[in-house]
Amino acid sequence: MRGGLAHAEATEAYQLPRLIRLAPNLYAACFTLMKLIPARFILRRAAADGKLPRGTVIAETTSGTFGLALAMQAVHLDRKLILVSDPVIDERLFRRLTDLGAIVERVPATAARAVGGYQAARLERLRQVLADYPVTFCPEQYSNPDNPRSYATVAEFLLENLGQVDCVVGTVGSGGSMCGTVTHLRAVLPECQAIGVDAHASVLFGHPDGPRELRGMGMSVMPANLDHRVFDAVHWCSAGIAFAATRQLHRRHALFMGPSSGAAYLVARWWSQRNPGALTVVLLPDEGYRYQDTVYDDGWLRAAGHLGAAVPDEPAGVSQPAQPGGPWTSLAWARRSFDEAVRPRPDPAVGVA
């Protein structure tokens, strides 16, 4: 929807990005809080469909920005919100969520598993919450098709303002933003390329699951909303170089964004320089305030071993997702399904042992 001079709701005013030209052929779509797009769409649609009668409890498992976006929209809808989170939720985010009226339930620290962390415990607690109340609604950002669908708004925004978009670069978590934005863009521009940026040790594009330092991108379980066939290329990026690129984005362009924005910027800058005739848009999902004590603190970076991390000029090309190649690798995904791209095919020349 188009914004006039005044907005009826804060989430409507905050949800659209600002477009900033970083290079003649590279635009950044800078979001205050990108997750407002799916949170607003999912909850408003549920309300319009009569799924949020008065007294409904909205419940979701998240420790991140989707929870904040839900909490903001729940204020507009005047509904109770319960968020099930890790024990280690950021204290300032916790205060902001509770000030918005959300109830934040932290699973106990003893519930951690070796693989998947607190995910299983959080899902179990969510099931209990949903069973405890008579009328509940769970937005399910990882599987609700309204999540990718909501990003038609971003495609509309980019097409209205730029007309042509040859490539979109963005980090991948639920799959909603990249799959939704690119699928809708391709209704008009079928050749538009999509480059997904993932973290090492994330299962999304075929790495074995493992501990990840980089938050806000990458996953330990495969979300149903991730349509792998959208992507032309996939890049994996280490925390160290993502942090360094985040600081570069701030110093060079005065853009104060979070670390997943840094990772996306790193890849978009490289791709747009190699493709000067193409117009690239990079999605920068949230701002830097949550990371002032980490990514923006040299002392923290030093202690974490990331201060002065050298950013490679280009990624190391790999032919299989988990093939070692250093902190920054890339794979030509070629719009294949996960099985086509990741499952090893029997090689007739070698034979099957």
Partner 1 sequence: MRDMRQYRLARSRASARPAGRGVGHACAHHGELLQGMFTDSAGRLRRALVTLPQPHSGSRATFHPSERHWGIVGTPELIKVRRAAVLALQAFSAHPSPAKGGQIDIVSDVPRGIGMGSSTADVIATIRAVADFHGVTMSREEEGRLAVLAECASDSVMIDDRVVLFAHRDGEVLETLGHRLPPMIVIGCDADPGVRVDTLSLKPAGYDDREIGAFQALRGALRHAIRHQDVALLGKVATASALINQRYLPKPLLDQLLDLCRSTGGSGVQVAHSGTVAGLIFDARQPGAAQAASACLARIGEWGLPVTATIGLPVAGAAQTQATA
Interface with partner 1 by CB under 8 A: which residues? Answer: 1, 44, 145, 149, 152-153, 155-164, 180, 183-185, 187-189
Helix, strand, coil abundance in the chain, percent, nearest 5: 35, 20, 45
How is residue 135 written in tokens? 């009328």
Q: Which is nearer to partner 1, 101 or 163 (CB)?
A: 163
Closest separation between CB of residue 152 and partner 1, Å?
A: 4
d(CA 178, CA 303): 33
Q: Which is nearer to partner 1, 162 or 222 (CB)?
A: 162
Lateral strand order in the sheet of 136-137: 103-106, 80-85, 57-61, 136-137
Burial class (CB in 10 A: 0-12, 13-18, 19+), 349: exposed
d(CA 350, CA 232): 28
Range 117-144 burial, b when 16+ CB lie within 10 A, else e: bbbebbeebbeebeeeeeebbbbbbbeb
Q: Which is nearer to partner 1, 1 or 303 (CB)?
A: 1
Q: Which is nearer to partner 1, 184 or 306 (CB)?
A: 184
Q: Which is nearer to partner 1, 44 or 200 (CB)?
A: 44
Please report how many Cα atoms fall inside a 13 Å half-sphere around the Cα of residue 308, on the Cβ side. 3
Q: Which is nearer to partner 1, 152 or 304 (CB)?
A: 152
Closest separation between CB of residue 297 and partner 1, Å?
A: 40
Closest separation between CB of residue 314 and partner 1, Å?
A: 32
Closest separation between CB of residue 184 and partner 1, Å?
A: 4
| Contacts of the segment 114-120: beta carbons below 8 A, 24+ positions apart | 115/209, 115/220, 116/209, 116/220, 116/221, 117/86, 117/220, 118/86, 118/87, 119/220, 119/221
Rg (CA), the chain: 20
What is the CB neighbour count within 10 angstroms for residue 209?
16
How is residue 134 written in tokens? 């008579």
Closest separation between CB of residue 348 and partner 1, Å?
A: 37
Q: Which is nearer to partner 1, 161 or 320 (CB)?
A: 161
Closest separation between CB of residue 148 and partner 1, Å?
A: 9
Closest separation between CB of residue 12 and partner 1, Å?
A: 10
Closest separation between CB of residue 144 and partner 1, Å?
A: 12
> Do 214 and 244 contact (CB within 8 A), yes or no?
no
Q: Which is nearer to partner 1, 11 or 136 (CB)?
A: 11
